[in-house]
Amino acid sequence: MTYLPPGNSPYVIYVLATLVAARVFYTYLGRKSDNPDALPLPPGPKGLPIVGNVFDIPLNQPWLVYDDWIKTYGDMVYLNILGKGILILGSMERINDIFEKRGNNYSDRPPMPMIKDLMGWDFALSFITYGSGVDNWDNENVKDLEEALGMVFEAAVPGRYLVDIFPLMKYIPSWFPGAGWKRTAELSRKLVTKAVNDPYERVKKEMSEGKAVPSVCSQLIEALPSVLGSPERAKEEHLAKSILAQIYTAGADTTTSACLTFLLAMTLYPEIQRKAQAELDSVLQGRLPEFSDRPSLPYINAMVKETNRWQMVTPCGLYHSATESGIYDGYYIPRGTLVLGNGWTILHDPQEFESPDQYIPERYLKDGKINPEVRDPTVAAFGYGKRKCPGRFFSEDSLFSIIAHVLSVYELKPGLDSDGKEVRIIPEYTSRAAS
């Protein structure tokens, strides 16, 4: 079920009723003018009057529910959340048509008041409006960002917070009855602000004392305009902090999650681990791997692909937003509709992948080489269209290096229980960030 404020406060009920009524009225007028031919919306689960599918939105592992809906309604599933549309795409044909061929209209991000305005993630490139500029770590700092990342991953689930449906709710004070979500946002903003500013200020201090180690941060500080206190310097300094925070947050949890998936797979599929180690032993002859070895390690490359496919880091990705209303394949798609490609469906399609729930690197190999005819996980694992993750190549290189190095020197097994027997591992994934 979707998020609703706890309790039965009459204030909350009054505010929500007013916002819902205004939203429904606005939506009705907008669709009547944008859709004069009264074309239908794409198919989807039938909702309730006024509130639509608000009680159908899954908050935990939503990609599995989306996958079930796609199997029931087809490769386009439309939901109505209090007048706000969500369109789920479940095939590469639809994804290419919408995000590639019509990318100019479907590359935006929604306002995301919970994440950007309230939680403090307005610096993150992933969340900024399409076409906008971005001018708008010790262990403690890492822990702060990781905690904040956990909050933002929860907030990114469509329908998780009503403030994303009714942006005016962001002005509700945190003491207001039922505004626990506002206090969550304030905690996130505090953690993000501290984690973004503290490492930067520490490096500045070390530079002034002549103790700074050369780093990306020190280089950005050296490149700042020389006039202290000038608007231009303040703008560039904000940009520098945003870049540094983005570098960490863009890959920290995603890479960690992929690595944990690899480690899990090795404990569940020991025969695959042995095959990989045999290839490494044959090619490396006792030394550690290098990137130049990658063409000679097809099985390791296949494991990189299968790790990204088997348990995706972001099965749903981040939703896009329709800049303008449009017509597609006879369906009306209202302006502001949230559009997402369900990567889980794309990379677990039994028509493309035999036994998709199994970890099988061999599916990518043919005659000892990577088979280009097999669907590559990068078509869905790193987003779509103009919002595709720019760090995808670095991510794959990092995962290759980690897999190759770990298996070159370690044998991975489940832990032992009190009787000395291997613990039975039951794979479970959540919608939260890895830690």
What is d(CA 389, CA 250) in angstroms, rounded to the nearest whole number? Answer: 9
- Expressed in angstroms, the distance from the first to the final Cα of the chain is 25
> Radius of gyration of the chain from Cα atoms?
24
Instruction: Check if the beta carbon of residue 326 is closer than 8 Å to that of residue 291.
Output: no
Q: Are 47 and 56 in contact (CB under 8 A)?
A: yes
Contact (Cβ atoms closer than 8 angstroms) between residue 77 and residue 43: yes
Query: For residues 123 and 108, is the Cβ–Cβ distance under 8 A?
Result: no
Identify whether the C-beta of residue 191 lies closer than 8 Å to the C-beta of residue 144: yes
What gap in Å lies between CA 145 and CA 140, rounded to an integer? 9
Helices (H) and strands (E) in the chain, counts: 12, 8
Beta-sheet strands, E only, within 82-229: 84-89
CA-CA distances (angstroms) from residue 10 to 14, 15, 17, 19, 103? 6, 9, 10, 14, 44
Q: Is 316 annotated as a binding residue?
A: no
Determine the Cα–Cα distance for residues 319 and 384; give it in Å rounded to an integer: 10
- For 16-54, b where at least 16 C-beta lie within 10 A, e where not — what string? beebbeebbeebeeebeeebeeeeebbebbebeeebbbb
Residue 320 in contact with residue 108, Cβ under 8 Å? Answer: yes
Helix or strand run (H / E) with residue 119? none
SS3 of residue 220 by DSSP: helix
Q: Which two tokens stand for residue 136?
A: 């708008």
CA dist 210 and 151 (Å) reads: 37
Q: In 60-179, which ranges are continuous DSSP H helix?
A: 62-73, 92-95, 139-155
Rounded distance between C-alpha atoms, residue 408 and residue 366, angstroms? 24
State the binding site for heme.
Answer: 389
State the binding site.
Answer: 389
